[in-house]
Structure 1
Amino acid sequence: MRSGGCVDFDQVTELMRHPAWVLLRADNAALVLSFCGTVFVDENARGVPETVLESRLDDRLYVLNEEKPGSFPRPADAYLAEWTKNGWLRKYYPPGEDEAHFDATAALEKAVAWVRELPARSFIGTESRLNTIVALLRQMAFGTETDPQTRIDELRRERDAIDAQIARLRAGEVDMLSPLALLDRYQQVESTAVELLRDFREVEANLRELDVRLRHQVATAEGGKGEQLAAFLLDRDEIARSDQGQSFQAFFDYLLSPRRQQELRELLQQVNQLPQLEGRANQSLLKVPFAWLEAAENTQDTVRQLTEQLRRFLVDRSRAEDRRVLALVRSTQRHVTALEGQADLPGMTLDIPQAHLTLPMERRLYMPVERIELDTIAVEESDDAEVDISELFSGVHVDTEALAGHVLEAVAASPSGQANLAAIVDDHPLTLGLAELLAYFQVEHPGLDMIVDPDRTDLLVYPRVHVPGHTQARVPHVTFVRDEGGNAAGKAEQE
């Protein structure tokens, strides 16, 4: 069912079993929506330890029972267990920790958002949303136009409009946004920022569904590991190629750009200090870029956990197959020893290999290669000197093959056949900042294994991109080692 589409009776009946619908009909819906909305939505908490969440809920229950005695007689842990069972909270154990953590589900956030939209609003802005609709329609129409002349006419129209604005400014005519128009746009920015955070939890939920499906396949797998690997990679490719996956990757790449992060923070700070928004500015909006980055990193952690699950599965299946082959070999040896010295043993027929000859006249005749003449006439330079092409060079591209070469070289030069990330960065300093550092965690090579030790950390110092100064990053201790076949050294020598 697509968003905004019509629903029939059967679809509505099926949706009544949705956790968000069940929450709205629950007896303690007010407690769940108010408490969880404050912790997981307003404070944007992710992965709250069980003791912390239980303590906060216990304090809240004490206050409510003081106002109305006997309203909530059960202890806090009983309510948390019920909410987890109903699909409103997710209980899990982070890697390396023995204490349970809680996080909100997408169903809980949908219910909280729906309830918060119910009260009447004193001001409902429509102008900014209309402008957004017109701008999006214009982008879609212009972006799919195949006629070059039509595109040129549209660009000229925009240029004339900009020239007219410059002329009015030089004449002293400054068009300012009215307080109502400014408030309209500010409310749209605030609602869009909150919706993005809510969408991240839904993306994580989709990835966790893939994780559950993979674990089920591992538990019930009877075929070869190649079949399981193909099914897993197919599911991951479908998520990566989907509209949701491509949009998330583009958003994450945008967040990794230091220049765009700085621009976003400066714009938010400048807008929040406008005198027209006095008393209506939301200071928590300044923390939105950091909340986006944290939510995106949580989503990437989910993908890394899927990859680790696949690696453990392949290792376990490979060891099991090795033990099975060894048992068959030993069984064959025992049978041969038992039959030694006996006569009239049953025989077997073998196919004798033979060479397949190809006569000279059966080969294809020589086909000359058609040569292509290239036009080397120089292209005339454009007279339009106002074209701004700086955006073409503003992106950050990290050559992962070059990083893999650095890792292979360090591993091959090490007598122990291993090298850590800190030593590699010392030999090959980072030139592209955080993007290049994160790319080292995605290095993949048939002759390499990457071991991450979360209990140990390394402090890396690297120069900033496009701005003076240096940045420090504390990352887990990462070690690159050769695989059991020792292919990494051979690859490094060939390269």
Structure 2
Amino acid sequence: MVSEAITTFLEFFMDYFSINSLRENHAGWSLLRAQNAPLALTFFMAAFTGPNQRNLGRQDLVEILDDVLFSLRDTLGEERFPRSASEYLDDWAEPAKAWLRKFYAENRDEPVYDLTASTEDVIRWVEALRGRDFVPTQSRLSSIFNLLKTLVHGSETDPDARLAELQRQRDDIDEQMELIRSGTIAVMSRPEAVDHFHQLTTQAKDLLSDFREVEANFRKLDRKLREQISLWEGGQGDLLESIFSSQQDISGSLQGRTFQGFWDYLMSPQLRSELHELLERATHIDALATQEGLHSITSMQKDWLPAVEQTQSTVRQLSAQIRRLLDDKVFLENKRIMALIRNIESGAVAVRAIPPTGVFADLPGHDVPVALPFERPLYEPSRQTPINDFVDVADDLDVDAQALFEQFHVDPQKLEANIDAVLADAEQATLAEVTDAFPLSQGLAELVTYFQLATASSSATIDSDSVQTLSWTLPDGSLREATVEKIIFVRPS
């Protein structure tokens, strides 16, 4: 019984060979085993995880690493780290190590570097080894209970059970309201507030580190797809079907659906406003006044947006790469077809003077369609339509030209200035927020111009899955409304 339990345990979890494979091949494990691991981790923390930065240029990283090396050599001696900063950087970005991801970004002349998901896992583990002065336990237990309740009640299909749970929640809320009306206000104690604050900051950091792993998972899906395209030997139609199903796999995978849900949540103006308000109110809690980094939590949402935008950009780049690979495949297929046609033509020219005897070409499966003569329609001449091209000349040449001066022009630069004015106080804004600040004065023409600006701009997104209703007032006082797709303008970085 004991041996069967151990066997089942090993089958369910990782066995010896899986762990040994990780030890030999995993980038994070190789980083821990490296001789210069303390130097690399110190540099990674100073350049990336400490200031929450991503996608740094080579020259910036060389300068940061030079500062780190200068400080260490001043303490440990010049011979301690003999190589230059650029040599260390190139070594850590080698595919054999893969501690850094080196790539070229748009509008950047120099290579760009970012941490890999494995490296960030090692950094978080090393930071955890130093220990913590305060370990949140009560808030974690509350989080477990809340997650469990959401899981169980959100998966309940019995209407009576759902109604009973909602009734219980309403009774609890009514009871709390009665206690507050009677003057009994239960305020969270200082240990509880500190406990929840540490839990909040920990989960916020974990969320930032998760984005690199999400991006890496998307790249793995795309790499499998590109390998399939490169090695494809079937028909063109089967390849297209495989391409479209694989693109659905990237966006419809469990990773893709959860990330899209987070993106939709973060892009909701109402939820973003509520989150910002809650973070601001949290900084004024008296029990947290002495906590380090209290006011930095207000920038939590601003730290998420660049990371989420980069992951979204990665998904867009993957889709563009898929289209380019497909175009290359079509080009090679057409080239092969033309080579076959040229081969057939050259063979036909070679036997033109001396035709071969017997059957020259056999095309099975083809027949001649037979149509009865009387099944064809008779010829019917086309009818000529008479056109009266006589022009009446008005005797009275006094024409009112006021209509020519009533035309108006929508100035796109003015609308761009409106968008920039709204984005000066916010990271992003919807078209409804822009029109609330600057109402539509030229009606539908001005609304169409906003759509033209959003289509031409790389800092704007048109969400076809959501709509918004915009309204304006005509000169005669009547109200007009238009329901259009949601446009989100983002402040350029």
**TM-score scaled by length of structure 1:** 0.69
Separation in structure 2 between the aligned mates of residue 142 and residue 12 of structure 1, nearest angstrom:
38
What is the 5 A alignment of 1:329-344?
329-340=341-352, 342=354
| 1:320 match | 332
**Residue deviations 1:144-166 (CA, integer Å, cap 9, x gap):** 32332222222221111111111
- In the TM superposition, what is the alpha-carbon distance from 1:80 to its structure 2 partner? 1.2
2:117–2:216 contact (8 Å) kept in structure 1: yes
CA distance in 2, matches of 1:319, 1:40: 42
Say whether 1:288 aligns with 2:300: yes
Q: Aligned partners of 1:441, 1:37: CA distance in 2, in Å? A: 40
**Paired residue for 2:315?**
303
Cross-structure match for 1:10: 17
Identity %: 37
**Match in the other structure for 2:271:** 260
2: CA distance between counterparts of 1:156 and 1:427? 46
Bigger radius of gyration among the two:
2
- What residue is the counterpart of 2:177 in the other structure? 166
Give per-residue Cα distances to partners, 1:170-191, cap 9 Å, x unaligned.
Answer: 1111111111101111111111
- Using the alignment, how far apart are the partners of 2:368 and 2:129 within structure 1? 81
Q: C-alpha displacement at 1:114, in angstroms?
A: 0.8
Distance 2:208 2:449 in 1: 37
Which of 58, 63, 71 is the aligned partner of 1:55? 63
Which residue identity lines up with residue 352 of structure 1 in the other structure?
D
Find the aligned partners of 1:177 and 1:33 in 2 and give their Cα distance: 39
From the superposition, tell whether residues 355 and 288 of structure 1 become closer, same or farther in structure 2 (CA, over 3 Å): farther
Aligned partners of 1:200 and 1:296 also within 8 Å: yes
Match of 1:41 in 2: 49
Q: Give the conservation status (yes or no) of the 8 Å contact 1:272–1:281.
A: no
Please show how residues 353-368 of structure 1 align to structure 2 within 5 Å: 353=368
Instruction: Confirm or deny: 8 A CA contact 2:100 2:116 kept in the other structure.
Output: yes
Alpha-carbon separation, structure 1, partners of 2:13 and 2:335: 57
Query: Which amino acid letter does the alignment assign opposite residue 318 of structure 2?
Result: L
Question: Quick one: distance in 1 between partners of 2:342 and 2:221?
Answer: 40
Q: Distance in 1 between matches of 2:270 and 2:453?
A: 17
1:259 alignment partner, SS class: helix
- Offset, 1:273: 2.8
Structure 2 distance, partners of 1:220, 1:324, is 16
Structure 1 position 317, deviation (Å): 2.5
Cα distance in 2, alignment partners of residues 82 and 59 from structure 1: 18
Q: Match for residue 208 of structure 1? A: 219
In 2, Cα distance between the equivalents of 1:236 and 1:472?
A: 26
Match for residue 75 of structure 1 among 75, 84, 87 = 84
186, 193, 211: which one pairs with 2:197?
186
Shift of 1:224: 4.2
Q: CA RMSD in A?
A: 3.5
Distance 1:149 1:284 in 2: 45
Structural mapping, 1:376-415, within 5 Å: none
Q: Alpha-carbon deviation of 1:36?
A: 0.4
* Worse-superposed segment, 94-103 or 57-66: 94-103
Q: Which moved more, 1:107-116 or 1:17-26?
A: 17-26
Q: 1:76 to 1:438 in 2, by over 3 A?
A: same
**Residue 438 of structure 1 corresponds to which residue in structure 2?**
461
Shift of 1:345: 4.2
Matches within 5 A, 1:134-149: 134-149=145-160
Cα pair distance change 1:42/1:441, threshold 3 Å: farther
C-alpha distance in 2 between matches for 1:26 and 1:122:
29
- Greater shift, 7-16 or 19-28, is seen at 7-16
| Alpha-carbon separation, structure 1, partners of 2:357 and 2:249 | 56
Residue pair 2:226, 2:322 contacting (<8 A) in 1 also? no
Cα-to-partner distance string for 1:338-389 (whole Å, 9 max, x where unaligned):
4445466433456434689xxxxxxxxxxxxxxxxxxxxxxxxxxxxxxxxx
Match of 1:29 among 30, 37, 40: 37
Q: In the aligned structure 2, how far is the partner of 1:424 from the partner of 1:328?
A: 54
Which residue type is aligned with residue 324 of structure 2? Answer: R
8 Å CA contact retained: 2:43, 2:65:
yes
Q: Distance in 1 between matches of 2:272 and 2:258?
A: 18
Deviations, residues 221-249 of structure 1 (Å, cap 9, x unaligned): 44444444444444433343333221111
Contact 2:461 2:489 in 1 (8 A): no
Deviations 1:23-42 (A, max 9, x none): 22222222222220232112
CA contact (8 A) 1:225 1:314 kept: no
Alignment correspondent of 2:483: none
Q: Which residue of 2 aligns with 1:463?
A: none
* CA offset digits 1:64-99 (Å, max 9, x no partner): 100110221211112112222212111111134331
Task: Please tell me whether the aligned partners of residues 266 and 272 of structure 2 are also in contact (alpha carbons under 8 angstroms).
Answer: yes
Change (3 A) 1:229 1:33: farther
Structure 1 contact 217–228 (Cα < 8 Å) conserved: no
Distance in 1 between residues matched to 2:488 and 2:121, nearest whole Å: 38
- The answer to whether the 8 A contact 1:37-1:109 is kept is no
Q: 1:425 to 1:99 in 2, by over 3 A?
A: farther
**How much does 1:292 deviate?**
1.6
- Measure the CA separation in 2 of the matches of 1:67 and 1:201: 34
Match of 2:449 in 1: 426
Distance in 2 between residues matched to 1:354 and 1:429, nearest whole Å: 53
Partner of 1:133: 144
Size of the aligned set, in residue pairs, is 382
Q: Secondary structure at the match of 1:97?
A: coil
What SS does the aligned partner of 1:27 have? coil
The answer to whether the 8 Å contact 1:89/1:102 transfers is yes
Cα displacement string for residues 263-285 of structure 1 (whole angstroms, at most 9, x for unaligned residues): 21221122123222123142332
3-state secondary structure, aligned to 2:220: helix
Q: Which SS does the other structure have where 2:52 is aligned?
A: coil
* CA distance in structure 2 between the partners assigned to 1:68 and 1:344 by the alignment: 88
Q: Contact conserved, 2:139 with 2:195, CA < 8 A, in 1? A: yes
Report deviation, 1:323: 3.2
